[in-house]
Amino acid sequence: MPLAEVRVFLPIDLPLIHRLTPRGISFDSLTALTKGIHTIEGAVWSALPIADLGTPTFVLREGDLGYIAQFRHKTGDQNAHIVFIAPEISGRGSEDNWMRLLNAMIIGAGRRGAFTLNAEISEESDAYELLRRVGFATYSRQVIWQRQPRPPAPDAPKLLRPATELDAIGVNSLYYQTVPHIVRQIDPLPDLRHGAVWERGGRIEAFVSGQEGKYGIYVTALIHPDLNVQAASEVIESALASLPRVDKLPVYMCVRRYQEWLFTALENTRFSPYANQAVMAKHTSRRIEDCAYKPALAFEGTPLKLNKIIEYYHDRSEPPVGISHHG
């Protein structure tokens, strides 16, 4: 009996998505901790022929069984991110179907122009081992810290200001001094439109970005490794004071292991560990849509035709699985 094919979402799949959503696994801490997993809304919007709406959704139906998977990606971004797969793994049959969904998402992300498909998952879960079997590698590890809703410190220093285009060089320099080379393959440069900086003595010492949703506020930060714990604590306090609803929503701060020296600063500002995750990624096959045949002159002046490149692979640069906690 031939295997059922993985296909993109159709309106007839709405009952299936509604039924499976409570039984799924999130691979995207940002979405899960701020907006929640809205599989139906994301699937419906993704079916419209309008760029960057919804989350690309894949469906696999096999007899009475059904599976769904989603990833997010904005046009032009080099990295896509798995959001959700359902239902949970339960036996060999479900493992095979998960692998088929994962491979479909890898291809789908590549066709949209993404270089990598990323995922965040506990190393203790069955899904972690399955992602490794499909070819995902662990690029780093991270700890999500949580701060319960409470007002910011009344004496919080005002260190941060909104980032502008003039800060691009300084923020990029901070990024390259803070983020290990191997992680830069899966982590883009900071988006200045959604962040704040601390500038001291003409140098950008910190960049902080926050996103708010119905369920919480998600914060990421690049803090210069030359700073001490006290200065880092003041940066975090300043960031909390700039967020409008910290007294009503929990705040989550994602800290990669290469910045684990910030853990003490987080404890100083009333954060506590919430989740440990592996940061995984798989390089895709990216389709080049904008290449064209152009004549190239040979040494004798005779035009030559260059064949259009259709696809190329990035797996040659993929690192081995199991990078240390400091990677």
Q: Is 300 helix (H, G, I), strand (E, B) or coil?
A: coil
pTM for this one?
A: 0.82
Which is nearest to 216 in space by CA: 25, 42, 70, 30?
A: 30
**Residues 8-13: what's their mean pLDDT?**
85
Higher-confidence residue: 248 or 76?
248
Q: CA of 121: how far to CAs of 28, 111, 131, in Å?
A: 8, 24, 10
From CA 239, how far away is CA 255, in angstroms rounded?
Answer: 15
**Running DSSP on this structure, what letter comes out for residue 323?**
-
CB 135 within 8 A of CB 314: no
N-to-C CA span, the chain = 45
**pLDDT, tens digit, 9 for 90 and up, residues 269-304:** 999 999 999 999 999 975 444 444 444 444 344 333
pLDDT at 313: 35
**pLDDT, tens digit, 9 for 90 and up, residues 12-43:** 888 888 888 888 899 999 999 998 876 555 55
Domain 7-141+280-296+308-315 architecture: 3-Layer(aba) Sandwich (3.40)
From CA 98, how far away is CA 6, in angstroms rounded?
Answer: 10
Residue 216, exposed/middle/buried by CB under 10 A (0-12, 13-18, 19+)? buried
pLDDT surpasses 60 at 52: no
Beta strand 295-297 pairing with 303-305: antiparallel
pLDDT surpasses 60 at 133: yes
| CATH 3.40.630.30, the chain: domain bounds | 7-141+280-296+308-315, 149-269
Q: How many residues does the chain have?
A: 327
pLDDT surpasses 90 at 165: yes
Which is nearest to 104 in space by CA: 30, 318, 96?
A: 96
From CA 94, how far away is CA 103, in angstroms rounded?
Answer: 14
Q: CA of 241: how far to CAs of 65, 103, 151, 258, in Å?
A: 49, 43, 8, 26
From CA 179, how far away is CA 191, in angstroms rounded?
Answer: 15
User: Please, what CATH class does the domain formed by 149-269 belong to?
Assistant: alpha beta
Q: Count other Cβ atoms within 10 Å, centred on residue 4.
A: 16
